[in-house]
Structure 1
Protein backbone atom coordinates (compact mmCIF):
# COMPACT_ATOMS: atom_id res chain seq x y z
CA UNK A 1 0.00 0.00 0.00
CA UNK A 2 1.43 3.37 -1.00
CA UNK A 3 1.16 6.50 1.16
CA UNK A 4 -0.94 9.42 -0.15
CA UNK A 5 0.07 10.32 -3.74
CA UNK A 6 2.51 13.18 -4.23
CA UNK A 7 1.49 16.25 -6.25
CA UNK A 8 3.60 15.25 -9.29
CA UNK A 9 2.39 11.64 -9.30
CA UNK A 10 -0.40 10.46 -11.60
CA UNK A 11 -2.16 7.16 -10.92
CA UNK A 12 -3.71 4.90 -13.55
CA UNK A 13 -5.53 1.62 -12.88
CA UNK A 14 -5.82 -1.48 -15.05
CA UNK A 15 -7.68 -4.69 -14.20
CA UNK A 16 -6.31 -8.18 -14.84
CA UNK A 17 -6.26 -11.53 -13.05
CA UNK A 18 -9.46 -10.50 -11.24
CA UNK A 19 -7.66 -7.73 -9.35
CA UNK A 20 -6.65 -4.07 -9.78
CA UNK A 21 -3.13 -3.00 -10.69
CA UNK A 22 -2.37 0.66 -9.97
CA UNK A 23 0.50 2.37 -11.77
CA UNK A 24 1.78 5.52 -10.07
CA UNK A 25 3.84 7.62 -12.50
CA UNK A 26 6.09 10.41 -11.25
CA UNK A 27 6.96 13.35 -13.52
CA UNK A 28 4.94 12.48 -16.64
CA UNK A 29 6.06 14.39 -19.71
CA UNK A 30 3.48 13.06 -22.18
CA UNK A 31 0.11 11.99 -20.72
CA UNK A 32 -0.91 10.29 -23.96
CA UNK A 33 2.25 8.18 -24.01
CA UNK A 34 1.69 7.30 -20.36
CA UNK A 35 -1.86 6.14 -21.08
CA UNK A 36 -0.65 3.97 -23.96
CA UNK A 37 2.16 2.44 -21.90
CA UNK A 38 -0.12 1.57 -18.99
CA UNK A 39 -2.70 0.13 -21.38
CA UNK A 40 -0.01 -2.10 -22.91
CA UNK A 41 1.10 -3.09 -19.41
CA UNK A 42 -2.44 -4.19 -18.57
CA UNK A 43 -2.80 -6.12 -21.81
CA UNK A 44 0.40 -8.02 -21.05
CA UNK A 45 -1.00 -9.01 -17.65
CA UNK A 46 -4.21 -10.25 -19.24
CA UNK A 47 -2.22 -12.28 -21.77
CA UNK A 48 -0.32 -13.92 -18.91
CA UNK A 49 -3.59 -14.77 -17.19
CA UNK A 50 -4.90 -16.34 -20.40
CA UNK A 51 -1.82 -18.57 -20.46
CA UNK A 52 -1.37 -19.46 -16.80
CA UNK A 53 -4.63 -19.28 -14.85
CA UNK A 54 -5.80 -22.48 -13.17
CA UNK A 55 -9.22 -20.90 -12.64
CA UNK A 56 -9.99 -21.11 -16.36
CA UNK A 57 -10.24 -24.57 -17.96
CA UNK A 58 -9.17 -23.41 -21.42
CA UNK A 59 -5.75 -22.00 -20.53
CA UNK A 60 -2.61 -23.93 -21.54
CA UNK A 61 -1.54 -24.17 -17.89
CA UNK A 62 -4.91 -25.62 -16.93
CA UNK A 63 -4.64 -28.20 -19.70
CA UNK A 64 -1.08 -29.11 -18.66
CA UNK A 65 -2.21 -29.55 -15.06
CA UNK A 66 -5.00 -31.90 -16.18
CA UNK A 67 -2.59 -33.92 -18.33
CA UNK A 68 -4.27 -32.93 -21.60
CA UNK A 69 -1.27 -31.01 -22.95
CA UNK A 70 2.44 -31.65 -22.56
CA UNK A 71 4.76 -28.88 -21.44
CA UNK A 72 6.79 -29.37 -24.63
CA UNK A 73 3.71 -28.74 -26.77
CA UNK A 74 2.52 -25.74 -24.77
CA UNK A 75 3.54 -22.10 -25.14
CA UNK A 76 7.16 -21.55 -24.02
CA UNK A 77 5.99 -19.38 -21.13
CA UNK A 78 4.57 -22.50 -19.47
CA UNK A 79 7.97 -24.19 -19.26
CA UNK A 80 9.57 -20.92 -18.15
CA UNK A 81 7.17 -20.40 -15.24
CA UNK A 82 7.24 -24.05 -14.15
CA UNK A 83 11.05 -23.98 -14.14
CA UNK A 84 10.99 -20.78 -12.11
CA UNK A 85 8.59 -22.31 -9.59
CA UNK A 86 10.80 -25.38 -9.25
CA UNK A 87 13.84 -23.17 -8.71
CA UNK A 88 12.07 -21.47 -5.81
CA UNK A 89 10.96 -24.80 -4.36
CA UNK A 90 14.61 -25.80 -4.17
CA UNK A 91 15.77 -22.39 -2.89
CA UNK A 92 13.28 -22.48 -0.01
CA UNK A 93 13.85 -26.14 0.93
CA UNK A 94 10.38 -27.04 -0.31
CA UNK A 95 8.43 -24.37 1.55
CA UNK A 96 7.43 -22.84 -1.78
CA UNK A 97 5.49 -25.80 -3.14
CA UNK A 98 4.45 -25.58 -6.82
CA UNK A 99 2.17 -28.60 -6.66
CA UNK A 100 -1.60 -28.57 -6.35
CA UNK A 101 -2.78 -30.26 -3.17
CA UNK A 102 -6.17 -31.94 -2.95
CA UNK A 103 -7.70 -29.48 -0.49
CA UNK A 104 -6.46 -26.52 -2.51
CA UNK A 105 -7.75 -28.07 -5.73
CA UNK A 106 -11.21 -28.41 -4.19
CA UNK A 107 -11.47 -24.61 -4.11
CA UNK A 108 -11.01 -24.30 -7.87
CA UNK A 109 -13.84 -24.42 -10.43
CA UNK A 110 -11.82 -26.92 -12.50
CA UNK A 111 -10.97 -30.49 -11.43
CA UNK A 112 -7.25 -31.30 -11.18
CA UNK A 113 -5.38 -34.38 -9.97
CA UNK A 114 -3.59 -34.25 -6.62
CA UNK A 115 0.01 -33.13 -7.13
CA UNK A 116 -0.63 -31.39 -10.45
CA UNK A 117 1.79 -28.57 -11.30
CA UNK A 118 0.64 -25.30 -9.76
CA UNK A 119 2.85 -22.21 -10.27
CA UNK A 120 0.13 -19.87 -8.97
CA UNK A 121 2.32 -18.62 -6.14
CA UNK A 122 4.71 -17.04 -8.62
CA UNK A 123 2.44 -16.18 -11.56
CA UNK A 124 1.40 -12.64 -10.58
CA UNK A 125 4.94 -11.52 -9.83
CA UNK A 126 6.26 -13.15 -13.00
CA UNK A 127 3.55 -11.48 -15.09
CA UNK A 128 4.30 -8.08 -13.57
CA UNK A 129 8.05 -8.50 -14.11
CA UNK A 130 7.43 -9.45 -17.75
CA UNK A 131 5.19 -6.43 -18.30
CA UNK A 132 7.28 -3.80 -16.50
CA UNK A 133 9.54 -2.95 -19.49
CA UNK A 134 6.45 -1.66 -21.29
CA UNK A 135 6.27 1.19 -18.77
CA UNK A 136 9.54 2.56 -20.15
CA UNK A 137 7.42 4.11 -22.91
CA UNK A 138 5.39 6.07 -20.34
CA UNK A 139 7.92 8.91 -20.42
CA UNK A 140 8.01 9.34 -16.65
CA UNK A 141 10.91 9.88 -14.26
CA UNK A 142 9.83 7.01 -12.03
CA UNK A 143 6.98 4.64 -11.37
CA UNK A 144 5.50 2.44 -8.68
CA UNK A 145 3.26 -0.50 -9.54
CA UNK A 146 0.86 -1.66 -6.83
CA UNK A 147 -0.10 -5.18 -7.86
CA UNK A 148 -2.96 -5.76 -5.42
CA UNK A 149 -0.67 -5.15 -2.46
CA UNK A 150 2.64 -6.24 -3.98
CA UNK A 151 4.84 -3.35 -5.08
CA UNK A 152 7.57 -2.81 -7.66
CA UNK A 153 9.34 0.50 -8.28
CA UNK A 154 11.77 2.06 -10.73
CA UNK A 155 13.54 5.38 -11.17
CA UNK A 156 13.82 8.43 -8.97
CA UNK A 157 12.93 7.56 -5.41
CA UNK A 158 12.25 7.22 -2.67
CA UNK A 159 8.75 5.80 -2.32
CA UNK A 160 7.25 5.39 1.15
CA UNK A 161 5.12 2.26 1.27
CA UNK A 162 2.89 1.04 4.09
CA UNK A 163 2.39 -2.57 5.15
CA UNK A 164 -1.37 -3.15 5.28
CA UNK A 165 -3.12 -4.22 8.46
CA UNK A 166 -3.72 -7.99 8.12
CA UNK A 167 -7.23 -7.61 9.57
CA UNK A 168 -8.42 -5.05 7.01
CA UNK A 169 -10.29 -6.48 4.05
CA UNK A 170 -10.58 -4.70 0.73
CA UNK A 171 -8.64 -1.61 -0.32
CA UNK A 172 -6.42 -0.46 2.58
CA UNK A 173 -6.50 3.21 1.54
CA UNK A 174 -7.25 5.43 4.51
CA UNK A 175 -6.35 2.78 7.09
CA UNK A 176 -3.32 2.81 9.37
CA UNK A 177 -0.44 0.62 8.14
CA UNK A 178 1.31 -1.61 10.66
CA UNK A 179 4.71 -0.54 9.33
CA UNK A 180 6.18 1.84 6.75
CA UNK A 181 9.29 1.25 4.67
CA UNK A 182 11.09 3.27 2.03
CA UNK A 183 11.69 1.71 -1.38
CA UNK A 184 14.56 3.00 -3.50
CA UNK A 185 17.28 1.69 -5.79
CA UNK A 186 18.59 -1.56 -4.32
CA UNK A 187 15.39 -2.12 -2.33
CA UNK A 188 12.83 -1.67 -5.05
CA UNK A 189 10.10 -4.23 -4.36
CA UNK A 190 7.76 -5.46 -1.65
CA UNK A 191 5.50 -8.52 -1.53
CA UNK A 192 3.02 -9.59 1.13
CA UNK A 193 1.47 -13.03 1.60
CA UNK A 194 -1.49 -13.88 3.80
CA UNK A 195 -3.58 -11.32 5.65
CA UNK A 196 -7.23 -10.47 5.15
CA UNK A 197 -6.82 -10.15 1.40
CA UNK A 198 -5.99 -13.82 0.87
CA UNK A 199 -6.98 -16.22 3.63
CA UNK A 200 -6.89 -20.03 3.51
CA UNK A 201 -4.88 -20.19 0.29
CA UNK A 202 -1.50 -21.15 1.77
CA UNK A 203 -0.74 -24.76 2.54
CA UNK A 204 1.88 -26.11 4.91
CA UNK A 205 4.12 -28.34 2.74
CA UNK A 206 4.78 -30.67 5.71
CA UNK A 207 1.27 -31.19 7.11
CA UNK A 208 -0.79 -30.49 3.99
CA UNK A 209 -3.13 -28.34 6.10
CA UNK A 210 -3.85 -24.63 5.80
CA UNK A 211 -0.74 -22.77 6.95
CA UNK A 212 -1.44 -20.64 10.01
CA UNK A 213 2.08 -19.87 11.20
CA UNK A 214 1.68 -16.12 10.70
CA UNK A 215 -1.13 -13.66 10.09
CA UNK A 216 0.87 -12.06 7.30
CA UNK A 217 4.39 -12.04 5.85
CA UNK A 218 6.05 -9.19 3.95
CA UNK A 219 9.39 -9.36 2.11
CA UNK A 220 11.35 -6.42 0.66
CA UNK A 221 14.14 -6.74 -1.87
CA UNK A 222 15.53 -5.98 -5.30
CA UNK A 223 12.85 -7.63 -7.44
CA UNK A 224 9.22 -8.60 -7.05
CA UNK A 225 9.58 -12.26 -8.05
CA UNK A 226 12.13 -12.93 -5.32
CA UNK A 227 10.05 -11.06 -2.75
CA UNK A 228 6.85 -12.87 -3.70
CA UNK A 229 8.43 -16.33 -3.65
CA UNK A 230 9.96 -15.80 -0.21
CA UNK A 231 6.82 -14.21 1.25
CA UNK A 232 4.78 -17.22 0.11
CA UNK A 233 7.41 -19.67 1.35
CA UNK A 234 7.72 -18.09 4.81
CA UNK A 235 3.94 -17.91 5.23
CA UNK A 236 3.67 -21.58 4.30
CA UNK A 237 6.77 -22.91 6.05
CA UNK A 238 6.71 -20.86 9.25
CA UNK A 239 9.61 -20.22 11.63
CA UNK A 240 11.94 -22.74 9.98
CA UNK A 241 11.63 -20.95 6.65
CA UNK A 242 11.90 -17.54 8.29
CA UNK A 243 15.22 -18.66 9.80
CA UNK A 244 16.35 -19.88 6.38
CA UNK A 245 15.40 -16.52 4.87
CA UNK A 246 17.48 -14.75 7.51
CA UNK A 247 20.46 -16.95 6.64
CA UNK A 248 20.03 -15.99 2.97
CA UNK A 249 19.92 -12.27 3.77
CA UNK A 250 16.21 -11.89 2.96
CA UNK A 251 14.46 -8.86 4.50
CA UNK A 252 11.21 -10.19 6.00
CA UNK A 253 8.55 -9.14 8.51
CA UNK A 254 6.20 -11.82 9.87
CA UNK A 255 3.12 -10.75 11.83
CA UNK A 256 2.59 -13.34 14.55
CA UNK A 257 -0.57 -12.28 16.39
CA UNK A 258 -2.74 -9.36 17.38
CA UNK A 259 -2.36 -7.72 20.78
CA UNK A 260 -5.31 -7.38 23.14
CA UNK A 261 -4.36 -3.73 23.56
CA UNK A 262 -4.21 -3.14 19.81
CA UNK A 263 -1.47 -3.51 17.26
CA UNK A 264 0.47 -6.66 16.46
CA UNK A 265 3.37 -8.77 17.61
CA UNK A 266 5.82 -9.48 14.82
CA UNK A 267 9.24 -10.94 14.14
CA UNK A 268 11.65 -9.82 11.45
CA UNK A 269 14.94 -10.80 9.91
CA UNK A 270 17.97 -8.54 10.51
CA UNK A 271 17.65 -7.00 7.06
CA UNK A 272 14.10 -5.70 7.47
CA UNK A 273 14.18 -1.91 6.73
CA UNK A 274 11.87 -0.86 9.55
CA UNK A 275 10.81 2.74 9.91
CA UNK A 276 7.91 2.37 12.30
CA UNK A 277 7.73 -1.16 13.71
Structure 2
Protein backbone atom coordinates (compact mmCIF):
# COMPACT_ATOMS: atom_id res chain seq x y z
CA UNK A 1 0.00 0.00 0.00
CA UNK A 2 1.23 3.47 -0.84
CA UNK A 3 -0.58 6.70 0.06
CA UNK A 4 0.44 10.36 0.00
CA UNK A 5 -1.33 13.40 1.45
CA UNK A 6 -0.32 17.01 2.09
CA UNK A 7 -0.52 17.73 5.83
CA UNK A 8 1.05 20.40 8.07
CA UNK A 9 2.57 22.12 5.07
CA UNK A 10 4.51 19.18 3.62
CA UNK A 11 3.86 15.86 1.86
CA UNK A 12 3.42 12.80 4.06
CA UNK A 13 3.82 9.43 2.38
CA UNK A 14 2.99 6.04 3.82
CA UNK A 15 4.27 2.81 2.31
CA UNK A 16 3.33 -0.53 3.85
CA UNK A 17 5.08 -3.70 2.63
CA UNK A 18 3.11 -6.18 4.69
CA UNK A 19 0.81 -8.58 2.85
CA UNK A 20 -0.93 -9.66 6.04
CA UNK A 21 -1.95 -6.06 6.68
CA UNK A 22 -3.70 -5.49 3.36
CA UNK A 23 -7.27 -5.90 4.60
CA UNK A 24 -6.83 -3.43 7.46
CA UNK A 25 -4.50 -1.09 5.58
CA UNK A 26 -6.99 1.47 4.29
CA UNK A 27 -8.65 1.91 7.67
CA UNK A 28 -5.30 2.27 9.45
CA UNK A 29 -4.07 4.78 6.85
CA UNK A 30 -7.27 6.79 7.36
CA UNK A 31 -6.52 6.89 11.09
CA UNK A 32 -2.94 8.05 10.46
CA UNK A 33 -3.91 10.97 8.27
CA UNK A 34 -6.91 11.89 10.44
CA UNK A 35 -4.55 12.13 13.42
CA UNK A 36 -2.03 14.28 11.53
CA UNK A 37 -4.78 16.63 10.37
CA UNK A 38 -6.05 16.84 13.94
CA UNK A 39 -2.57 17.78 15.12
CA UNK A 40 -2.35 20.49 12.47
CA UNK A 41 -5.67 21.96 13.59
CA UNK A 42 -4.79 21.87 17.29
CA UNK A 43 -1.10 22.73 17.38
CA UNK A 44 -0.34 24.93 14.37
CA UNK A 45 0.84 28.43 15.37
CA UNK A 46 -0.38 29.57 11.95
CA UNK A 47 -4.05 28.83 12.71
CA UNK A 48 -5.68 31.49 14.86
CA UNK A 49 -8.09 29.08 16.57
CA UNK A 50 -5.55 26.36 17.41
CA UNK A 51 -4.75 25.48 21.01
CA UNK A 52 -1.18 26.71 20.53
CA UNK A 53 -2.30 30.09 19.18
CA UNK A 54 -4.84 30.53 21.94
CA UNK A 55 -2.26 29.63 24.57
CA UNK A 56 0.24 32.05 23.02
CA UNK A 57 -2.34 34.86 23.24
CA UNK A 58 -3.05 34.03 26.88
CA UNK A 59 -6.57 32.76 26.20
CA UNK A 60 -5.84 29.39 27.80
CA UNK A 61 -4.56 28.87 31.32
CA UNK A 62 -2.25 25.98 32.30
CA UNK A 63 -5.29 24.25 33.81
CA UNK A 64 -7.01 24.32 30.40
CA UNK A 65 -4.28 22.41 28.59
CA UNK A 66 -4.92 18.88 27.35
CA UNK A 67 -2.50 16.02 27.95
CA UNK A 68 -1.11 16.14 24.39
CA UNK A 69 -0.22 19.82 24.52
CA UNK A 70 1.28 19.41 27.98
CA UNK A 71 3.49 16.62 26.62
CA UNK A 72 4.63 18.78 23.70
CA UNK A 73 5.41 21.75 25.96
CA UNK A 74 7.30 19.50 28.38
CA UNK A 75 9.45 18.27 25.48
CA UNK A 76 10.11 21.85 24.38
CA UNK A 77 11.21 22.75 27.89
CA UNK A 78 13.41 19.67 28.12
CA UNK A 79 15.33 20.64 25.00
CA UNK A 80 15.49 24.30 25.99
CA UNK A 81 17.24 23.35 29.21
CA UNK A 82 19.41 20.69 27.55
CA UNK A 83 20.76 23.19 24.99
CA UNK A 84 21.25 26.10 27.36
CA UNK A 85 18.47 28.02 25.63
CA UNK A 86 19.64 27.52 22.02
CA UNK A 87 16.42 25.65 21.33
CA UNK A 88 13.41 27.70 22.44
CA UNK A 89 9.76 27.48 21.40
CA UNK A 90 9.13 30.93 22.92
CA UNK A 91 11.55 33.26 21.18
CA UNK A 92 11.33 36.97 22.06
CA UNK A 93 9.19 38.90 19.61
CA UNK A 94 7.56 35.72 18.30
CA UNK A 95 4.51 33.76 19.35
CA UNK A 96 4.64 30.29 20.85
CA UNK A 97 5.89 27.92 18.13
CA UNK A 98 6.44 24.26 19.13
CA UNK A 99 6.54 23.02 15.52
CA UNK A 100 10.08 21.67 15.87
CA UNK A 101 8.77 19.17 18.43
CA UNK A 102 5.23 18.68 17.13
CA UNK A 103 6.26 17.25 13.75
CA UNK A 104 8.36 14.35 15.01
CA UNK A 105 6.12 13.71 18.00
CA UNK A 106 2.95 13.53 15.91
CA UNK A 107 4.44 11.36 13.16
CA UNK A 108 5.86 8.97 15.75
CA UNK A 109 2.38 8.74 17.29
CA UNK A 110 0.99 8.02 13.82
CA UNK A 111 3.53 5.21 13.38
CA UNK A 112 2.41 3.77 16.70
CA UNK A 113 -1.18 3.73 15.40
CA UNK A 114 0.01 1.61 12.49
CA UNK A 115 1.89 -0.78 14.77
CA UNK A 116 -1.14 -1.10 17.04
CA UNK A 117 -3.24 -1.96 13.98
CA UNK A 118 -0.87 -4.80 13.11
CA UNK A 119 1.52 -3.28 10.54
CA UNK A 120 5.01 -4.74 10.84
CA UNK A 121 6.93 -3.37 7.84
CA UNK A 122 6.24 0.21 6.82
CA UNK A 123 7.90 3.52 6.05
CA UNK A 124 6.22 6.79 7.09
CA UNK A 125 7.92 9.81 5.51
CA UNK A 126 6.91 13.30 6.64
CA UNK A 127 8.69 15.88 4.53
CA UNK A 128 11.93 13.90 4.60
CA UNK A 129 11.79 12.81 8.24
CA UNK A 130 11.18 9.07 8.39
CA UNK A 131 9.93 6.35 10.72
CA UNK A 132 10.96 2.92 9.46
CA UNK A 133 9.36 -0.21 10.90
CA UNK A 134 10.79 -3.59 9.98
CA UNK A 135 13.36 -3.33 7.29
CA UNK A 136 15.88 -2.79 6.20
CA UNK A 137 14.80 0.46 4.55
CA UNK A 138 17.28 2.61 2.63
CA UNK A 139 16.82 6.35 3.05
CA UNK A 140 18.66 9.06 1.16
CA UNK A 141 19.76 12.31 2.81
CA UNK A 142 19.69 15.29 0.46
CA UNK A 143 22.90 17.13 -0.26
CA UNK A 144 22.69 20.49 1.55
CA UNK A 145 23.72 22.48 -1.53
CA UNK A 146 22.60 20.38 -4.52
CA UNK A 147 18.93 19.40 -4.63
CA UNK A 148 19.53 16.67 -7.20
CA UNK A 149 22.22 14.88 -5.16
CA UNK A 150 22.45 12.84 -1.98
CA UNK A 151 25.21 13.32 0.56
CA UNK A 152 24.64 9.92 2.14
CA UNK A 153 22.33 6.91 2.11
CA UNK A 154 21.50 5.14 5.33
CA UNK A 155 19.93 1.81 6.12
CA UNK A 156 17.25 1.69 8.82
CA UNK A 157 15.53 -1.13 10.66
CA UNK A 158 13.03 -0.17 13.36
CA UNK A 159 14.42 3.35 13.71
CA UNK A 160 13.78 6.96 12.73
CA UNK A 161 15.77 9.68 11.00
CA UNK A 162 15.35 13.45 10.82
CA UNK A 163 17.33 16.22 9.17
CA UNK A 164 17.51 19.92 9.97
CA UNK A 165 18.99 22.14 7.29
CA UNK A 166 18.96 25.56 5.65
CA UNK A 167 18.18 24.46 2.09
CA UNK A 168 14.37 24.39 2.19
CA UNK A 169 13.47 27.44 4.30
CA UNK A 170 16.71 29.37 4.50
CA UNK A 171 18.01 30.53 7.88
CA UNK A 172 14.79 29.72 9.74
CA UNK A 173 16.26 28.01 12.81
CA UNK A 174 17.07 30.59 15.48
CA UNK A 175 19.67 30.25 18.21
CA UNK A 176 17.64 31.27 21.25
CA UNK A 177 20.79 32.37 23.07
CA UNK A 178 21.51 35.11 20.53
CA UNK A 179 18.21 35.66 18.75
CA UNK A 180 20.01 35.27 15.43
CA UNK A 181 19.79 32.52 12.78
CA UNK A 182 21.94 29.46 13.41
CA UNK A 183 24.51 29.35 10.61
CA UNK A 184 27.26 27.07 11.90
CA UNK A 185 25.93 24.04 10.03
CA UNK A 186 24.54 23.37 6.56
CA UNK A 187 22.65 20.25 7.62
CA UNK A 188 22.45 17.82 10.50
CA UNK A 189 20.85 14.37 10.44
CA UNK A 190 20.00 12.32 13.52
CA UNK A 191 19.05 8.65 13.74
CA UNK A 192 17.27 7.55 16.91
CA UNK A 193 14.79 4.97 18.14
CA UNK A 194 11.85 7.36 17.67
CA UNK A 195 11.11 10.31 15.43
CA UNK A 196 10.08 12.28 18.51
CA UNK A 197 13.71 12.22 19.60
CA UNK A 198 15.38 12.32 16.18
CA UNK A 199 13.47 15.39 15.02
CA UNK A 200 13.77 17.37 18.24
CA UNK A 201 17.47 16.56 18.64
CA UNK A 202 18.22 17.48 15.02
CA UNK A 203 16.58 20.89 15.39
CA UNK A 204 18.01 21.55 18.84
CA UNK A 205 21.53 20.59 17.75
CA UNK A 206 21.27 22.70 14.59
CA UNK A 207 20.25 25.70 16.73
CA UNK A 208 23.44 25.21 18.77
CA UNK A 209 25.63 25.47 15.67
CA UNK A 210 28.86 23.51 15.35
CA UNK A 211 28.85 22.60 19.04
CA UNK A 212 25.51 20.89 18.53
CA UNK A 213 27.14 18.00 16.68
CA UNK A 214 29.05 16.84 19.75
CA UNK A 215 26.01 17.46 21.96
CA UNK A 216 23.75 15.30 19.79
CA UNK A 217 26.42 12.61 19.47
CA UNK A 218 26.69 12.44 23.27
CA UNK A 219 23.04 11.45 23.69
CA UNK A 220 22.37 7.74 24.25
CA UNK A 221 20.96 6.07 21.15
CA UNK A 222 21.59 8.99 18.77
CA UNK A 223 23.79 8.71 15.68
CA UNK A 224 24.71 11.87 13.78
CA UNK A 225 25.73 12.93 10.27
CA UNK A 226 26.44 16.63 9.75
CA UNK A 227 27.89 19.03 7.21
CA UNK A 228 29.27 22.21 8.78
CA UNK A 229 29.56 25.67 7.26
CA UNK A 230 33.07 24.83 6.03
CA UNK A 231 31.67 21.81 4.11
CA UNK A 232 33.34 19.38 6.50
CA UNK A 233 31.46 16.10 7.00
CA UNK A 234 31.14 14.87 10.58
CA UNK A 235 29.62 11.53 11.53
CA UNK A 236 29.44 9.23 14.52
CA UNK A 237 30.95 5.74 14.16
CA UNK A 238 27.57 4.03 14.49
CA UNK A 239 25.74 6.06 11.85
CA UNK A 240 23.97 3.37 9.76
CA UNK A 241 25.37 4.11 6.30
CA UNK A 242 24.11 1.76 3.61
CA UNK A 243 26.49 -0.35 1.56
CA UNK A 244 27.73 1.16 -1.70
CA UNK A 245 25.51 0.42 -4.68
CA UNK A 246 22.28 -0.10 -2.74
CA UNK A 247 19.12 1.55 -4.01
CA UNK A 248 17.18 4.20 -2.12
CA UNK A 249 13.72 3.17 -0.92
TM-score higher than 0.5: yes
Partner of 2:150: 177
Change (3 A) 1:199 1:20: same
1:273 to 210, 223, 240: 240
* 8 Å contact from structure 2 (residues 87, 175) kept in 1: no
Partner of 1:144: 123
Q: Distance in 2 between matches of 1:244 and 1:137?
A: 33
2:204 aligned with 1:233: yes
Q: Runs (4+) of structure 1 moved beyond 3 Å?
A: 29-32, 136-141, 274-277
Partner of 2:139: 161
Q: Map Cα deviations across residues 140-184 of structure 1 (whole Å, 9 max, x no partner).
A: 4400111101000112x1111111122356xxxxx3311011101
User: When the two structures are superposed, what TM-score results if normalisation uses the length of structure 2?
Assistant: 0.88
Q: Which runs of 5+ in 2 are unaligned?
A: 245-249
Q: Map Cα deviations across residues 18-47 of structure 1 (whole Å, 9 max, x no partner).
A: 211101111233545212211110000011
What is the DSSP-based 3-state SS (H/G/I as helix, E as strand, rest coil) of the residue aligned with 1:191?
strand
Q: Distance in 2 between matches of 1:33 and 1:246?
A: 39
* 8 Å contact from structure 2 (residues 184, 229) kept in 1: no
User: When the two structures are superposed, what TM-score results if normalisation uses the length of structure 1?
Assistant: 0.80
Change (3 A) 1:146 1:210: same
* 1:275 CA displacement: 4.1
2:21 aligned with 1:21: no
2:102 aligned with 1:123: yes
Q: Which runs of 5+ in 1 are unaligned?
A: 1-9, 106-111, 170-174, 259-263
2:193 aligned with 1:222: yes
Partner of 2:66: 75
